[in-house]
Structure 1
Amino acid sequence: MALRDPKDTISIFWIAPQFLVFGVSEMFTAVGLIEFFYKQSVEGMQSFLTAMTFCSYSFGFYLSSLLVSLVNKVTSRSGHGGWLSDNNLNNDRLDLFYWLLAGLSFINFFNYLFWTRWYCYNPSLVGRRVSPSGAKDSKSSMNDIEMGAGDWLGIAAPPPFSDPTAAGNRIMGGVNYASAAGGILDETGQHYGDRYSLNQQVVNFETTLSQLRTMMSPENLNQLLANSIVVMVFGSNDYINNYLMPNVYATSRTYTPEAFANLLLNRYSRQVEALYSVGLRKFFLPGLGPLGCIPNQLATGQAPPGRCVDSVNQMLGPFNEGLRGLVGQFNGGSHPGATFVYGNTYGVFGDILNNPGRYGTL
Structure 2
Amino acid sequence: MAKPQFTAMYVFGDSLSDPGNNLYFHITATKSNYFPYGIDFPDGPTGRFCNGKLLVDFLAELVGLPILPAYENPSTNGKNILFGGHRFPLSEQIQNFKNTLNQLRNQMEEDEISKYLANALVLMAIGSNDYINNYLMPQIFKSSHLYSPGDFADLLIKQYAGYILEVHNLGLRKFYLVGIPPYGCTPFQLTTGHAPPGQCISSSNNIVEMFQLAT
The structure whose Rg is larger is 1
- Name the SS for the 1:222 alignment partner: helix
> Structure 1 residues 37, 271: closer, same or farther in 2, change over 3 A?
closer
> Which residue matches 1:312?
204
Q: Which one of 252, 273, 277 corresponds to residue 169 of structure 2? A: 277
Deviations 1:65-102 (CA, angstroms, capped at 9, x unpaired): xxxxxxxxxxxxxxxxxxxxxxxxxxxxxxxxxxxxxx
2-structure distance, mates of 1:307, 1:37 = 29
CA contact 2:68–2:86 (8 Å) conserved in 1: yes
Structure 1 residues 185-334: aligned runs within 5 Å: 196-323=88-215
1:268 Cα deviation after fit: 0.3
Indicate how the Cα distance of structure 1 residues 167 and 245 shifts in structure 2: closer, same or farther if over 3 A, else same: same
One-letter code aligned to 1:38: N
Name the CA shift for 1:36/1:297 in 2 (closer, same or farther; >3 Å).
closer
Question: In structure 2, which of residues 61, 81, 85 is the aligned counterpart of residue 151 of structure 1?
Answer: 61
* Corresponding residue of 2:33: 38
Residue deviations 1:127-151 (CA, integer Å, cap 9, x gap)? 312xxxxxx4xxx99x722222222
Question: Where does structure 1 lack aligned partners over 5 or more consecutive residues?
Answer: 1-30, 46-121, 130-135, 178-195, 324-362
Q: Write out per-residue CA displacement over residues 283-307 of structure 1, whole angstroms, 9 at most, x where no aligned residue.
A: 0002211111111111111111211
CA contact (8 A) 2:34 2:45 kept: yes
Residues 123, 163 of structure 1: 8 Å contact kept? no
- The alpha carbon displacement at 1:270 in A equals 0.6
Q: Secondary structure at the match of 1:307?
A: coil
Residue 41 of structure 1 and its aligned partner are, at CA, apart by: 11
Deviation, 1:43, is 3.8
Find the partner of 1:127 among 28, 43, 47: 47
Higher RCO, Cα 8 Å, sep 6+: 2
Q: What percentage of residue pairs aligned between the two structures are identical?
A: 35
Sort the Cα spacing of 1:43 and 1:239 in 2 relative to 1 into closer, same or farther, 3 A: closer
1:158-182 C-alpha deviation (Å, 9 max, x unpaired): 11111111100001111122xxxxx
- TM, length-normalised to structure 1: 0.47
Decide whether the 8 Å contact of 1:39 with 1:128 is kept in 2: no
How large is the Cα RMSD of the aligned pairs?
2.9
**Structure 2, unaligned runs of 5 or more:** 1-25
